[in-house]
Amino acid sequence: MDCYLSRNHILQALKQLPREKIQLATKFGVFKFDPTLVVVKGTPEYARSCCETSLRRLRLEYIDLFYVHRIDTTVPIEETMGELKKLVEEGKIRYIGLSEANSDTIRRAHAVRPITALQMEYSLWTHDIEEEIIPLYRELGIGLVSYSPVGRGLFAGKAVVEILPPNSFLETHPRFTGQNFEKNKTIYLRLEALAKKHGCTPAQLAIAWVLHQGDDVVPIPDCAPTESAIEEVFPASESITTS
């Protein structure tokens, strides 16, 4: 099994737009996922199988950006990248991305075939990558895709702060349990006050902060089937400066 069921929904959107107008990214590597267990698989055979399955499901000739979702430490990254390089040469994918990789893995992978995008968590409350990863991806000319720019939903609004969504994986996340959650609520309240000062929502402010980290940083906001999901994306970024 895998956890990439959103491809079935994307297929509907692909029917309505010209292919040349779309930049499509998908991932492989998480073989099994539930709140207590994540199994990753990065063998060359699995990489190829996932790519070809995606192409078949989406009825595409190529994938623009194909990510290694999580690094399989039981498989040398050179082997995984070697197969991805073949897929590029065959025209089945155009660019390769990594997600949640350390600096050594990034360098080794990049030596086999240049990495185009690196997906890492980066937000107002997650700065772990600033010491090693950010200098490295800029040295190598890789773009950064920041996931969870609204703090895994914390900065999306009071609804998350007051009560977690039912059956949410956040119920087991350390930042949303016990004293950690209580402390993080105070961060939200401070952000909310600052957002009011700038005439925007906390989510807009959080995303604007990520956008201001550089032209080579692109946030991918958490999505939800609500009207606010659209208005929370980018409108505030132009009116908020780094000052």
Condensed to tens digits (0 to 9), the pLDDT of residues 133-166 reads 999 999 999 999 999 998 877 877 665 655 666 6
Domains of the chain: 1-115 (3.20.20.100)
The whole-model pTM stands at 0.84
pLDDT tens digits, residue range 164-173?
Answer: 666 666 666 7
Is beta strand 143-147 parallel, antiparallel or unpaired with respect to 217-220? parallel
Select from 155, 153, 147 the least CA-distant residue to 217: 147
Percent of the chain with pLDDT over 90: 56
Model pLDDT, residue 233: 52
Select from 241, 230, 242 the least CA-distant residue to 203: 230
Model pLDDT, residue 33: 74
Q: Is there a contact between 192 and 240 (Cβ–Cβ < 8 Å)?
A: no
Model pLDDT, residue 227: 44
Alpha-carbon radius of gyration of the chain: 19
What does 26-37 look like in DSSP terms, one character per residue?
A: EEE-EEEEETTE
User: Whole-angstrom Cα distance, residue 52 to residue 229?
Assistant: 31
> Comparing 71-85, 182-196, 221-235, which segment has the lowest mean pLDDT?
221-235
Model pLDDT, residue 182: 74
Model pLDDT, residue 242: 47
User: Whole-angstrom Cα distance, residue 220 to residue 193?
Assistant: 24
pLDDT tens digits, residue range 15-45?
Answer: 888 888 889 999 999 988 776 778 999 999 9
* 104 vs 168, residue with greater confidence: 104
Which helix (H) or strand (E) segment holds residue 64: the answer is: strand 63-68
How is residue 215 written in tokens?
């032209």
Q: Is there a contact between 115 and 76 (Cβ–Cβ < 8 Å)?
A: no
- Please give the average per-residue pLDDT across 207-233, as a whole number: 74
pLDDT(178) > 80: no
User: Whole-angstrom Cα distance, residue 120 to residue 128?
Assistant: 10
Model pLDDT, residue 171: 63
User: Whole-angstrom Cα distance, residue 57 to residue 51?
Assistant: 10
